[in-house]
A and B are shown apart, each in its own frame.
Chain A
């Protein structure tokens, strides 16, 4: 009897169609390289997943997603700003989301300056004239990039809303991460995140690395998480190599996005979430200190993913700020 069950199972195994995990589109969505129907733009020799809403002649809002290695899907509620007479630009950063993937060697030979160069090229591409206002709304890592951009090109930005940047230097960011990503070694959440390491093992292909990253995302948003997220939030595809290499760069060389911020006297709106126990006003004040002119706002009933979970409270506060200009 046991032999019969074994034989049936083995026969069932043999008769199943076996897929190749790196075939495009099976485990992760296709990027703009593999799917020509996705909206895209080629800038700085890379093809980015880009989407816009509103009239191109209206004041520009550039939405900058978090990560590194995230995508803009959870920010899409912000297309509502188009109904308020703004031209809203969403883009997946280089090597992330549905943007073109790059070989790891690109990152090994680069600094993170390319993120700022790509943002600059994006703004230059869409700006119809030099009087057109440009606002940056950045979330988490996106808010850090926004600050890095303002630090280099303050004259190009009309205003900015920064939603919970972890820090504007690597030292600051490390300190925030130590609180927000506290490891509980015997927890279901952590073990659920790392168990797949023995199944997806030692493969370099983006399809496998990006797919495996989705398993790790459950750790961040598990019940009782420090950053206050209510659960998972929409995404398309993680940029695992982009994330990994950004961390390696930061650990190796650090970064400081604040060197010239003292000259940016424009008011910046600094948003933090009510439920992120690792952040709060205390950390917002520390991180924002290099800006001379900051207004703080707490987003109610939301954790770190505040442009998604806290949109109802964020939207009117953001609009009020934007309409001041």
Chain B
């Protein structure tokens, strides 16, 4: 399975109207159905991306399906990318406080002179925050686990010819703890998320010791 088949899988998911989002529940108007975001972030690597969300017609439990596609900065356009397809659900709300759950399916593609990696995994994010029409603040915790990786080695084969290409089982999980601050104006939301990532063992942590995510979103 090469990166283009992987991208097809991702685009098919777009066709199914599956999307994921960061949201200010209190700023969403009844007629808002679509959410389009531009993203810049430091999240494992330095990335830029787009996200699109679609509000489901579920009056009791607000839900947004969406997809996000991020790619690291660099010379080779889209040689590396990460897609996140998930469902954002507000499960509890009282007096402006709300708790939401955000499970998702993650695919990653990576290409370098070392190897080509295709990876699938899942992410579960939860948010507890205080939401008003002009802004919000929420605490975030997420858990992301790899399920399978397809590895095809390139440069490493020169130094270790017996290296094994193929499918590999889970290579670990990361946990992120942070917060999201939001400012909403007219049909726009500005989100800033900051926090710290940890490896699942809280010892072997990502090289970038923090994550920062800035996005501007339009509701329509």
Contacts and interface: CB of A to CB of B under 8 A. Distances in A.
Residue from B44, B115, B166 with most neighbouring chain A CB atoms (10 Å):
B44
Nearest to B71: A191
A195 B45 CA distance: 6
A203 B114 CA distance: 20
A214 interface: yes
B168 A9 contact: no
B169 A13 contact: no
B31 interface: no
Interface in A155-206: 185-204
B209 to A, nearest CB: 11
B206 A197 contact: yes
B167 A236 contact: no
15 contacts: A5-B12, A9-B9, A12-B1, A19-B168, A21-B169, A27-B163, A28-B160, A191-B72, A194-B44, A198-B174, A199-B172, A202-B174, A202-B175, A204-B203, A232-B155
Contacts of A26: 163-164
A66 B120 CA distance: 36
A252 interface: no
Interface in B182-220: 198-208
Interface residues of B, number: 59
A205 to B, nearest CB: 10
A4 B79 CA distance: 27
Residue from A18, A192, A195, A200 with most neighbouring chain B CB atoms (10 Å):
A195
A323 interface: no
A271 B209 CA distance: 36
Interface string A197-221: 1111111100011000011111000
Interface in B17-61: 42, 44-47
Contact of B173 (A195, A202, A234): A202
Contact of A19 (B15, B82, B169): B169
A57 to B, nearest CB: 34
A81 to B, nearest CB: 24
